[in-house]
Amino acid sequence: MSDLARSVAYITSGAAGMFCGSCMHDNTLARALSRQGVDIQLIPTYTPIRTDEQNVSIDRIFFGGVNVFLEQTVPGYRFLPDFVGRVFDQPWLIRKLTSRASSVNPKSLGKMTVSMLRGTAGYQRREVLKLSSWLGRSVRPEVVVFSNVLIAGCAPHIKRSLGTPILVTLQGDDIFLESLPDPYRRQSLDEIRRLVDSIDGFLVHSRFYAERMRAYLEIPEEKLHLVPLGIDTAGFPATVPATTESAAQRPPTIGYLARLAPEKGLHVLVDAFLELHRRPGWEDVQLRVAGWIGESNQGYATAAFKKLDDAGLQGRYHYGGVLDRAQKLDFLHALDLLSVPTTYEEPKGLFVLEALAAAVPVVQPDHGAFPELLAATGGGCLVPPNDPQALADQLQQLLGQPRQRQAFARAGHAAVHARFSSEEMAKGTWAVMKQIVAEHGDP
């Protein structure tokens, strides 16, 4: 397969021990590209990545979270000898020191975000030079890909130093940027729009997000490349499972599989579930919840579960915590429907593809990437966003129509396994890489 670019540097961003959709996507893509013959290095920044699949990232961290913070906040730190920085770049130490970093409010990261986007003109200049030098010595990439534009401030220097074309994957950058207070949000946008000239192409997973980011970051349309999202389907059922006697006898079961956070909409699903439970004939419906709870969202999750407890539903819901891959497959197998009613316009929707790969239909809000995903897969239906009543109505309707659920399950399962696998995503990404390298010419 690798008939043009033989070495790819894919720079991803760790999330301090959290299962992060972006780094899970990056790891899945890197594994698939490697299987297809591409020599790819998955290079973590900030912290090590966490994934429920085989982790193929290198055992080294650039822009280590501890050093980046100290360079930003401690006067003179960035001028200390390099060996001091190397001490804090040990992956085990970063894991330990950043174990609570998921509780940091993005609003407190404004100055650092602007500095990182300024590359060699920011406080993290030493980190930029370190990464660029290592890439030139150890990888000699023919293309460099950044997981998001927020870590791409070093792109101009790398491009000048290595003569290498640059790609950036856009997968939720605007959500973080919009959480920053001014003037940092405005300054960050100015820096990113400046970076656009140095970036040869942007990868997006939906037409919705391509259009959103084209306007938001002022990206020329010809630089945007649509590659549909994909997942590793290994371990998911190859055919739609037949309804077993035990499954037919269990109570109707709704699932939620995502971070427990306001933007993912657990509170919307809880309110819909309470409404459904109040309706005659639906008293036995079950809710199964799984996903990461960050430090800053402990109170949110506790309040959601307390609402269920106060309604006397202690035995009707279950929180399964953070799941590994085998546990996730078992979790999905026990569901009749999945719903993650995000309150923001989700740019990807990995959980939708995972549910459909397991032949579980979905009910999702009519915004973001979801309309495209469901139009392409036929694996579920849409409801108005932030409307627990409408969500309850649709959940009731589908739970009461097993034939319709089976039709959604068959269509969604077939579509994901045929067109939304990690192998298909890798082929599409590779085609863009080859195009970018060809247009750029020999380094």
User: Edge-to-edge strands of the sheet including 62-64?
Assistant: 62-64, 40-46, 8-13, 143-146, 166-169, 201-204, 224-226
Neighbours of 239 (CB within 10 A): 10
Closest CA to 201 of 434, 442, 443, 403: 434
CA distance 211 to 219: 10
**Confidence (pLDDT) at 383:** 98
Q: Give the C-alpha distances (Å, rounded to integers) separating 208 from 112, 157, 217, 332, 381.
A: 29, 31, 14, 27, 18
Cis, peptide link before residue 183, omega less than 30° from 0: yes
**CB–CB of 41/6 below 8 Å?**
no
**Confidence (pLDDT) at 135:** 95
- Widest pairwise Cα distance in the chain: 71
C-alpha Rg value of the chain to the nearest Å: 22
Neighbours of 103 (CB within 10 A): 12
CA distance 363 to 56: 33
**CB–CB of 259/295 below 8 Å?**
no
Q: Which residues of the chain have pLDDT under 70?
A: 1-5, 15-19, 65-67, 74, 76-108, 243-248, 442-443
CATH number of 8-232+422-440: 3.40.50.2000
Q: Provide the residue ranges of all domains of the chain, joining segments of one domain with +.
A: 8-232+422-440, 245-419
pTM for the predicted model, two decimal places: 0.89
Q: 245-419: same fold as 8-232+422-440?
A: yes
Counting beta carbons within 10 angstroms of the beta carbon of residue 7, is it exposed (0 to 12), middle (13 to 18) or buried (19 or more)? middle
Fold that domain 245-419 belongs to in CATH: Rossmann fold (3.40.50)
Phi, psi of 46 (to 5 degrees): 70, -70
Q: What's the angle, vertex CA 104, arms to CA 348 and CA 300, rounded to 5?
A: 70
* Cα distance from N-terminal residue to C-terminal residue, the chain: 20
Closest CA to 363 of 334, 331, 329, 388: 388
> Cα-Cα-Cα-Cα dihedral of 321, 325, 329, 331, to 10°?
0
